[in-house]
Structure 1
């Protein structure tokens, strides 16, 4: 009887909430509460060293109407997103298709290709990239072997942003693994049937692979878009926003306002504008998905 009462007591929903309480407390104290504070600070003048003073919509009005640095950082960030996301996903999908082949040593190749992504966006990788594309870096030394005189890629306004895009594209491992998992879910019988009907590799790719992989493409597209809008470490370490603000990312500008100029209220407003922009872009991607994302279950229902 005592055992039954004890077990019955722990079958109550209270037990579930009790086990969830560490996560719930962390969510409230480390996520929701800081977000609420940030929203409040965005309507104030706050410098960390003084008491916040209510400012209403003043921060937002100044950002949207009189802040040239905001417009520049937004322009650079949008360019970075428009170039880096498609290139990274294209590279990840291409390599995933190659790594799907059943050849000897494929596990080793997959590990080596995924290795750069394990390093992440660390400071060490950024410093390494900075040294590679410097005036006397390894890349220019390689070009010199063919008699080509290189430039300082990270100090040239025309190429600085491209080096950051290339670094992000190089770290395509996480997207590649997700694509590889999606490719393995596509039945080989579909490709065999298409081959019998005379469809070539390219036709199979666009008529079978892309439609059936479209939910995975959507997932990767959303994740990479959100991550690209928040790009900070590489720009901060490699170019520091230069030259001539050609790599002055939005997150870098936000950091400069918050911790460089101690304008925490202004930076909070910038953060919420960034949140809205990411939400709008994500919503647009999901709205467009009805026209290009195909789910296997929907196809079965239609049949």
Structure 2
């Protein structure tokens, strides 16, 4: 991540066409009339790419696409000025439905499983990934793995990037997250529930979270950012730990908020910002995106404007 001029590669292995519908008040088992509807290129890595592009960062969106909807995603990315490096496969790219309830300000997500991949396709993607990563400033690996992919596939990609001297940021969950960590990515961004699932225990306070992050850092990871929804976030390195307190916003959709945090972390590392600044930027980015409808994401000027509203402190307990 030393050359900010080189592109950031985002990897989305199970992308989606996100259809977001907004209703006034959701009636379970009843008729719901859609007030607004929009369709966007989706998937966690793609969301990161969209934010980085709005942060004036060169980005290449990679992954696997299939069918007509895969073509729609490529077209939508091109409209945003984002270059694509996807490998094509048979089948169809999934559709994910997001239902936004205005009355509760809650978003309900209904995600399809998506296409199935095989060893030949994954080997082809690895070849493409190795080729593109040679000239990358950073790699972001985010989201679920497609059906047919081994759970250690992120570990394989991180190992390739490490071999090339390219730093990686991992944002996944479950077995893919646990095995990916074994390859020692540069940074990880779990939410509190994903971190608890990884460790098999409840993390009740700042002390427990910072200690848990410290255990992961002891394995070689340089930065651990833990998002906690309405409770803010904690960002931890080997030498420092900072807490971003919740920003007073009216959330319209939480879709993409965590991905915006990841993009801000990459942006800050590329530009040599301190851990305290990184904490502030990532919180501001997530908050701006959460205040937007559907799958819209934050822009650079919006985040800069929000920075002053973010309160960053050292956690009450600091193991350092």
Q: Please classify the TM superposition score into its range, dividing by the shorter chain length.
A: under 0.3
Higher strand share: 2
Given the two structures, how large is their TM-score scaled by the length of structure 2?
A: 0.22
Given the two structures, how large is their TM-score scaled by the length of structure 1?
A: 0.23
Between 1 and 2, higher relative CO (CA 8 Å, sep ≥ 6) is seen in: 1
